[in-house]
Amino acid sequence: MNYISTRGAAPVLDFEATMLTGLARDGGLYLPEHVPPMTTAEIAGLAGQSYEDQAFAIMRPFIGGAFGDAELQELIARAYAGFGHPARAALKQLAPNHFLLELFHGPTLAFKDFAMQLIGQLFQAALARSGERVTIVGATSGDTGSAAIEAFRGLANVDVFILFPHGRVSEVQRRQMTTPSEDNVHALAIDGDFDTCQALVKDMFNDFAFRDSVKLAGVNSINWARVLAQVVYYFSAGVGLGAPHRPVSFTVPTGNFGDIFAGYIARAMGLPIEKLVVATNQNDILHRALSAGDYVTDGVKPSISPSMDIQVSSNFERALFDAYGRDGEAVARVMAELKESGGFHISQGALEFLREAFASGRASEEETSATITRIARETGEVLCPHSAVGVHVAEAHLSSTPMITLATAHPAKFPDAVEAATGERPSLPPRMADLFERPERVNRLPNELAAVQSVINERISA
């Protein structure tokens, strides 16, 4: 399986190189040259299988020769062994024809564990074979960093450094990053906000001497292997509700467009998905783009669903690539326009292409909070604010086709917003109830590239 860049000017890579590279050298994102289709019989055959067996069948064709069958099965088994639910992605019913897919039973209580746990295993296996070591550096506003640390802790060929804004992540998120005791895990609290952290990471990737000397690698949401791992639960939920014999729809709380793009790939593989509904909070660039065709940045407004507080959605570029007829130059042009003038107009043809697969909606802060309150009262299900954005938007798109809304985090990860809406503080699952007693380990650093780089150099040579 070959992977090509959305901007058409980077080398074609195989799966393993794509995973280890992350961002393409022309600034684009990697995509498979062809999406391998599954037949109706193959999709029907997934029904009743374990999540792990489904994952193997769905991902195998994308991975090519990078991992043998038995090895891949073993890595998948290890990735999901730490989940707190035997179904891994558990389906619940909220209302007639409306279902919730609980994606928060992983070790850090957010859907990012599905992808991160697997790529931790894939990285380690690939590096152990080549004898290489890499340094993973990432910036986080909370969920990505904790998922990355949890996935890479204790792995022999990887050091992981996560930069988070000091004082600006929730206590649960911070403790998930600062309490792992393994020597290869390094939580760095930076004086600044999320953009400060992200700028420092970008500067490190652009410092080629540093980048090569520490063998920098990235695992942010544009990494293709993360998208691929997320394709699986669209199938598991779809066949659980009768696909391929009847269609389903999904509503996805969306920030960087990684999760919903995985649904788009499932659809391209043959899963009968009628609509993929993009649900945004008040940071609604995607909803505005799909409604009116203008993809224009508007500054980030902090919300009670902070993991969806984004300025631009990096993975949207992958959907644009298909919408513009896989013309890398056209994508490069609109991306340059976005960078220079803060926005661009999506061509009529491209917009029609996108609207065939995607619908969209937004939830205000009040609507999000009211949805948490009402769903808890009506069903007993306590939603996190991100999942509540999804449920609110899904309710405007219900039809005779079963709607599956993705629940992206556990309510206990965002206890303040949930308590404000329900009057009750959600508690952590028993397996992590001692999070608040574990000792923390963290380096507080100023917003200075040299200071961060010298800590990284010291730690990896220690």
Ligand X SMILES: *Cc1c(COP(=O)(O)O)cnc(C)c1O
At residue 146, what are phi and psi to the nearest 5 degrees? -65, -40
Beta strands in 20-113 (DSSP E): 30-32, 90-95, 98-102
Q: Does 258 bind ligand X (CB under 6 A)?
A: yes
Q: Does 145 bind ligand X (CB under 6 A)?
A: no
Beta carbon of residue 138, minimum distance to ligand X (angstroms, whole number)? 13
Candidates 2-10, 13-21, 255-263, 326-334: pick the segment binding ligand X (CB under 6 A). 255-263
Beta carbon of residue 143, minimum distance to ligand X (angstroms, whole number)? 3
The smaller minimum CB distance to ligand X, of residues 110 and 271, is found at 110
Q: What is the per-residue binding string for ligand X in 384-413, x denoting contact by CB under 6 A?
A: --x---------------------xx----
The smaller minimum CB distance to ligand X, of residues 43 and 391, is found at 391
At residue 133, what are phi and psi to the nearest 5 degrees? -120, 145
The smaller minimum CB distance to ligand X, of residues 303 and 408, is found at 408
Active site residue 413: no
298: which 2 tokens? 């508007």
User: What is the DSSP pairing of strand 158-165 with strand 185-190?
Assistant: parallel
Q: Which of 119, 308, 350, 376 binds ligand X (CB under 6 A)?
A: 308
Q: Does 307 bind ligand X (CB under 6 A)?
A: yes
Name which of residues 21 to 50 contact ligand X (CB under 6 A): none
Dihedral through CA 279, CA 282, CA 288, CA 291, nearest 10? Answer: 50
Residue 360's SS3 state is: strand
Beta carbon of residue 128, minimum distance to ligand X (angstroms, whole number)? 29
Residue of 92, 112, 215, 339 marked active site:
112
The smaller minimum CB distance to ligand X, of residues 254 and 369, is found at 254
Residue 429 CB contacts under 8 Å (≥ 6 apart), including other chains: 84, 109, 410, 412
Q: Are 17 and 217 in contact (CB under 8 A)?
A: no
262: which 2 tokens? 């995985």
Residue 44's SS3 state is: helix
Return the residue matching tokens 């599956």.
Answer: 404
Beta carbon of residue 163, minimum distance to ligand X (angstroms, whole number)? 17
Q: Does 100 bind ligand X (CB under 6 A)?
A: no
Q: Does 283 bind ligand X (CB under 6 A)?
A: no
Name which of residues 212 to 251 contact ligand X (CB under 6 A): 221
Write the single-letter amino acid at 390: G
Please tell me the count of residues contacting ligand X according to CB under 6 A.
16
Beta carbon of residue 194, minimum distance to ligand X (angstroms, whole number)? 13
Candidates 178-186, 196-204, 257-265, 358-366: pick the segment binding ligand X (CB under 6 A). 257-265
Residue-by-residue DSSP string for 397-456: T--SSPEEEEE-B-GGGSHHHHHHHHSSPPPPPGGGGGGGTSPP--EEE-S-HHHHHHHH
Dihedral sign (CA 25, 28, 31, 33): negative
State which H helix or E strand residue 395 sits in.
helix 385-395
Q: Which of 150, 159, 259, 274 binds ligand X (CB under 6 A)?
A: 259
Q: Does 110 bind ligand X (CB under 6 A)?
A: yes
Return the residue matching tokens 């391209």.
Answer: 268
282: which 2 tokens? 């008040």
Beta carbon of residue 114, minimum distance to ligand X (angstroms, whole number)? 11
Q: What is the per-residue binding string for ligand X in 46-85, x denoting contact by CB under 6 A?
A: ----------------------------------------
Q: Does 107 bind ligand X (CB under 6 A)?
A: no
The smaller minimum CB distance to ligand X, of residues 143 and 274, is found at 143
Residue 164 region by backbone torsions, left for phi larger than 0, else alpha for psi between -120 and 50, else beta: beta
Give the Cβ contact number of residue 9 at 10 Å.
13
Beta carbon of residue 384, minimum distance to ligand X (angstroms, whole number)? 6
Q: What is the DSSP letter of 259?
A: H
Q: Which of 16, 102, 113, 143 binds ligand X (CB under 6 A)?
A: 143
Q: Which residues are catalytic?
A: 112
Residues that bind ligand X (CB under 6 A): 110, 112, 143, 221, 253-259, 307-308, 386, 408-409
